[in-house]
A and B are shown apart, each in its own frame.
Chain A
Amino acid sequence: GESVGLHLPTLSVQEGDNSIINCAYSNSASDYFIWYKQESGKGPQFIIDIRSNMDKRQGQRVTVLLNKTVKHLSLQIAATQPGDSAVYFCAERPFSGGYNKLIFGAGTRLAVHP
């Protein structure tokens, strides 16, 4: 089994509902924010990113919202499906850190129930 998900906060949703996963970040100087999805036994996979000069970006069934005032990032998944079950990580890229030296959050487990 995948032990990386132990001790993580879990969001449980019904299939077809919308999911909102939240993340607080720490560095006001970060210029990019990214969401990754990690399925059991696999490496993290890029979902969507957003620049610090934007407050909303939409992808296919996913929307990322950025609130710089309170240093908050959220990932919204529309019509959640069983295949969305995974651990989701937010990450920030500090502007002074160079390309893709990302700082990852601890992750949130999304459990989708039929």
Chain B
Amino acid sequence: DADVTQTPRNRITKTGKRIMLECSQTKGHDRMYWYRQDPGLGLRLIYYSFDVKDINKGEISDGYSVSRQAQAKFSLSLESAIPNQTALYFCATSVTGTDTGELFFGEGSRLTVL
């Protein structure tokens, strides 16, 4: 079983609909992240959370919100989806205290907004 699990893996929706992408992890890490991947642009940080009471905006947070329901769960919401939010979304985790750049990624959630 994957250590970082994202649901759904694929979703097609219509403009204006509310969408939630969920992430759960069994790694016991306290830090969680949501990234967006677009062709030719690499990954861009949407939101990150360093513990249950901590939520921070990344570089492209407009149009998104997050909720850290528990240490193991971090969900990403699109309140009113628009076509340019069509992308591949990744959840990632990392552990406090390790002085490296290692993130552990889920397998991604592909979202298509029509």
* Interface residues of A, Cβ cutoff 8 Å to B: 3-8, 32-34, 41-46, 49, 89, 91, 93, 98-102, 104-107
A-B Cβ contacts below 8 A, count: 75
* 6 interchain residue pairs of minimum CB distance: A43-B105, A104-B42, A34-B101, A7-B40, A32-B101, A104-B43
Task: List 12 additional A-B contacts (Cβ < 8 Å) besides A49-B100, A99-B50, A99-B94.
Answer: A3-B39, A4-B37, A6-B39, A8-B39, A43-B108, A44-B105, A89-B43, A91-B101, A99-B31, A100-B31, A100-B33, A104-B42
Chain B residues near A32: list those with CB within 8 A: 99-101
Are B94 and A100 in contact (CB-based, < 8 A)? Answer: yes
Q: Name which of A45, A99, A105, A107 has the most chain B CB atoms within 10 A of its CB.
A: A99
Interchain Cβ contacts under 8 Å between A and B, 22 examples? A4-B39, A5-B39, A7-B39, A8-B39, A32-B99, A32-B101, A33-B101, A34-B102, A41-B107, A42-B108, A43-B4, A43-B92, A43-B108, A44-B90, A44-B103, A46-B104, A49-B100, A49-B101, A100-B101, A102-B43, A105-B42, A106-B42
